[in-house]
Structure 1
């Protein structure tokens, strides 16, 4: 396991200025707070295709999908993007996007936030499990879908959430992958 410290861009919170998260070494880290994030992402995609019979079109599609995910994440406060290749054919990797969600249009109380998500889910017709869980770092809203797991962890000062968005498009979010993602989320700690 490698220990990741937040990028320093996390807001000053009551007693905590940053976070730590244990992520297995096999996961490739892309620092979205640095200008070189595109180069880091391109390196990952090229390494995954290197020495394999991966069609160039698939490599381009994976690159475009990951780049778009990173860009959309950055626009919503993403700071780190972790990638784990589970496929030998160069398909989409499992991923973790760590984002800061400041207060805004979402309820600050986790129970109210979970209810808000459930109400919106009804509009979208999605089939996700929504609930509130206790993690060592604090209360979190847990949203689990067939290929995704999002945990919105309340910041220590209660003014927003640190969001851990896991995605496993190839293997799905169940069994060992679900347990791994929950263990990573359980390793989250606030640092003074």
Structure 2
């Protein structure tokens, strides 16, 4: 039950945070993108977390986005400072256990269109992390994610290899 509560809190936090304009600490349109066109109502990471909470079925990443993109990648970047808005009413608590270490690394989900970044978002929720090797420039048509496990049994996201099955009702084109 505590996990579901945390997932709900994170989803609400991400959606509210983006509606307030976002920041480099979480999801935001990439620099140079057009507000209102490239924005989305909720974060892609929160949608990945929600999908995993409901099912272990594959998901076409295009069905979880509300903006146009050609390919996606996941990169590692320094965690840096903690989230600036934690501790405020309705936001995630500032508990050190919920924040990545400043000298640690976090994954960043990045979407590109015509060679330019259109959206990027830090992944600080374990259930939205990607397995090694991290995806690089995966075309939208091949961006179907499946659950895979690391050596410790932790559930991670991987790009589905091989022929893609038909996923009814999901946009993967």
Q: Which TM-score bucket, shorter chain as reference? A: under 0.3
Larger Rg: 1
Greater relative CO, 1 or 2 (CA 8 Å, sep 6+): 2
User: TM-score by structure 1 length?
Assistant: 0.24
> Which is strand-richer, 1 or 2?
1
User: TM-score by structure 2 length?
Assistant: 0.26
